[in-house]
A and B are shown apart, each in its own frame.
Chain A
């Protein structure tokens, strides 16, 4: 039941020291007040608490259990981060207040920026973008503006077929024409195809490395040389940086622009779909293109630099998701140099371990060691009449969140693949139990496929009908009432 369905006229959880004086307020705005009062539910405070507490209980989160959602890096979100981000000295700061009154927040942002520069090997950063796709758009707008100033005929962007959908969408939103680069038989970029496509109309190539199937791009040096030699730039989608910290840096690999997903690699909570934060780093020659303002330190004073002559402008109203940045900052401070390295090392070992346990039942497409995640196939199970979707739903009965399924789309991954990313947060026992569950489900598929077809059984709702939702659109309480 929704809050509207629980509403009782006259109830309220409102407790402020004033009463509504509508007549006086309307007298101040005579011609513009609402003619009718729009209804909101009327709920007592305890009812409200029970409503949302019970809703939260129907949700599966990292704090509930293993959440191996590939490419999303569902690692543990340290609680200390939450405490720091809730500090009123951070939350009660107005973004337009004078920099001299906000030296603490600005120091935090500046130190975060410096850490990210070191981790990625980039020269400057903006902390403004709100999440991965926003970071991609920021980065691609920087490239667009740079090319407009230097080589305006470069209107295309190359994107591997393994890329996440946000890459082509962001490139297109930044005004580029998207050209897809096929993958080779080892899961990397097809170099012959790249050689043919990389001409003087191409502004950049967007790469995720390790890519969405968890493989490090073996030919990255050759790709970087080829693209740079022909006048293009390299964009690094940092969605999967969790595999590389302290091992190798995108800046050293030749990337010109990177974005990072702080809600993935740097342990800020995913919030049921956001907010995240996605700082964008650039090499020196692009630093003047960063969105304004940029946090800088001058003579020991932290301040905002608005003087970026070629700036792309602004990506949002203020300076980025500061409360999210704070969480990532705390995480990086606590992990330190060795901790970040240990993180990537553990993430890589865990992914390969899960791959080793599951390969006999769900074969990987390539017999190569993976980085932070592994893509496994459930194609063989169609002969029992079950699909990967059924297997995933059955995993819920065992108490797990399913991996990312039906992605990526390129051959030989076209169908029935799951992308498993355990992250460094998980213990060996957790992964053992998860793999046991999947192996058991693979047995069930043979012996009792109905168990999978009707799964999940133990959740608050059974399978939800997406077709029904799309054909009978109800997206608000008002639609339900039919008014």
Chain B
């Protein structure tokens, strides 16, 4: 493209000369409309060419001057000495801008800004056009939808150089199409003008594109034709596959038959089609086209149902739950078998046990995937919610979703709805600013909320992000001090302060609105996420927006655990949180003078002694193990006697009696029939932290 830049340089310098000459003429006779035109055209051409040649700065700068001269041209403004001088200095500056690209001195950005401001000051205040936001909820394109398109151009179509066959072939390219030409409007031969187009077309189009894409094909002729696009089949699953509208209904919908006529001729005993043609109410090609539509949709629907039937069957979800439970039991028994086989010296038994183990794991994975559903369905429901809630508080908000195909356990998705609603409500209530404020600070009037999902190892990460004001750290801090959540002197990072919004009773909204701000909420959200064995984090930037990140396990029923023991009792830690295991000698723990800290590769990591936490008596071994886990981005150690190893854990809840016990999230049955408690690490860590704080005060 270097040739293009050279061409532009030559052209631009010529245009600038022309601009200068025209301006000087204008100075002598400010009313000279020919000179005004020349100035305008020079600026206009320079803007257009600049944009094409990649000189956006030149194009943008010319635009400012052009706008003012457009007013001059339309008589809204008089040319005066100041305008001529200003434009002359702009002309000099433009020359500099263009030559800067060819090794001359750099561009004086200050001068650019000054001149732009001067031009802008000249034109009356106008609201800037908002850039069109193109991102948004696009209809999902994977579904094949069938449209009925009637394209009836005005007779003078040919005279505009438009050839309908090109438009039709463009349309056919969008999907599978059947085109029927309708000839009934063609006048008798003696009246026919061959330069006029009297044919019109019915097209049945099955496509994954949406209506706008179809309209785009006809964009140049849209004003000079009758274009009717009707969706006649949405590609969804149907209970009555072969069913479609009656022929009369189709004709009425197309406007080829009136309702009265339909009623009238239905009464006749003969077939409707025959009657209609006999009476001359509908001509044959229209009837053919309608019949074709009926047949096509029926075929499509039957095919789809047949495909669906092959791909899926419906099963009640409680049956699935039972299946999952049974697999859980089986995993337990299999673990027992493996343990038993390992204790015998029997190669045959061991071989069988290993085979069973392999099959069981396979079975487990398969069964769990049955319950997986894409989260997109949940996202779609939020679109409406966002719209309505936004309207309630007079804010315009659009929802963008990403990763809707990410799959999660059905039970997780069900329980996720409320927390997500809450977060979205909060974003609309607190996060997104009113349109006036947004515009004043240079944002688009429409706010945006992004829901996204993606896989990350054994977890799914969900984010709810808005482009609003962000969290007010100072206010949260003040509120937290007021509520006694933190002390006056507490030195907290912004991140830690933001995390305080999940504490009960903290709401910084000045006005309690319908939407949010009662201070119950964020802690409820966290509880709900905790219940799903997930975690939630918030990240916020002032003026940029707030992002909530929810980390969830793929499934609830079975987890990979790390089996440890303390004084002969077994416990299970969720393996997904575990980062590493290190040894802790007695000498090391005594060095830290009673503070529970361990140095790992130069990093100080706090730890929790589970022996102390569970008040287990007796002597701990000389060398203990520290299991390092990551909780909310912070590394914490848990001291245990021994690490036994990885363990497939089927989670059993503790029943109602023990549901409020802190630090334990469930139990599991080990291979030998013993029960091991599953530890709730975040709770244990925060409990230990609270105890230590108390001890220090």
**Chain B associates with chain A:** no
A residues in contact (CB < 8 Å) with B: none
